[in-house]
Amino acid sequence: MVFRSAARALGVLVLAVSGLYAVDISSAPVVAVSSASLVSTYTWRTVPNQAFPGEEHLSYVVKWGLVTGGYSTLSVQGIEPVNGRPAYHIVSEARSGGMVSAFYKVEDHNEAWLDQGGLISVRYEKRIKEGKYRIEESTLIDQPKGRFHLQSYRLDKNLYEQKEGNLPPNVLDVLGSLYYVRVLPLEVGQSYTMDVLSGDKVYPLEVKVKKRERIKVPAGKFDTVLVEPLLRAPGIFIAKGKKLEVWLTADDRHLPVRMRSEVFIGHVSAELLPPN
């Protein structure tokens, strides 16, 4: 049970600020809006971005206490056209290792496409292998129409599903939300909220900026701001009663240098490694 919790937290940490690991989403409400007449009147928002470039690669060591549990990466792999508009192609990967992998193997791969001008999601894909759990999922997000179309295949159960529905304006996917948080001013004492699409449901995500702190990780020493993502419906994106903390550099880039999630016993942390 302990190793399983630690390995599952590895999947949580690869999504960093969003912390979106669906533990129990059955009781949370869906946010829905009408899509009528949105196409002809839709205006893409404009959000300045000085935080991340068109290409960026970050690597992390993931530890459960003093035990190395695996490794993860976050990267921007260029700018690609999606429905005629340029979009950041963002990729996250996580894999377990050592003792944790022997008990509960994790191989997670997530991809997001974030509109370059509006920093809102236009596409999201994931391939998840966690223990016996296997799923492949692809979501197209039509922001002008306020609609999504999701296709998922549970390989472990041979179950294929298609779902679609309405969306509020400027919705983000679970990975893209991290990169949107990076462009925010992140003033201590302030809270920032956004709508996040997880599977076929939309949840309000609140990010609280707790304090400034100087920390040391394998990549070096950094002045950081500590943020805590909070969900208005408990027990959805991380185990009920636990919390996720993220340390972002206190500069324009807001690099995620440490992420820490409480688990059944202790906590799992991901810390930035020096560049290769």
| Alpha-carbon span 132 to 56, nearest angstrom | 32
Domain that holds residue 148: 2-272
Reading the chain (276 residues) residue by residue, the pLDDT tens digits are 444 444 444 544 444 333 333 333 333 333 333 334 444 588 999 999 999 999 999 999 988 778 888 899 999 999 999 999 999 999 999 888 877 777 778 888 999 999 999 999 999 999 998 888 899 999 999 999 999 999 999 999 999 999 999 999 999 998 999 999 999 999 999 999 999 998 899 988 889 999 999 999 999 999 999 999 886 544 434 555 567 889 999 999 999 999 988 766 667 888 999 998
> How many structural domains compose the chain?
1
For residue 175, the SS3 value is: coil
Own/partner pairs for 181-187, CB < 8 Å, 24+ apart? Answer: 181/17, 181/207, 181/227, 181/248, 181/254, 182/51, 182/52, 182/248, 182/253, 182/254, 182/255, 182/256, 183/47, 183/48, 183/49, 183/50, 183/51, 183/119, 183/254, 184/254, 186/225, 186/227, 186/248, 186/254
Task: Extract the tokens encoding 27.
Answer: 């009781």
Beta strand 172-173 with 191-198 is parallel
Q: Is the alpha carbon torsion for 245, 249, 44, 138 positive or negative?
A: negative
Residue identified by tokens 């990967």 is: 93
Q: What pTM does this model have? A: 0.85
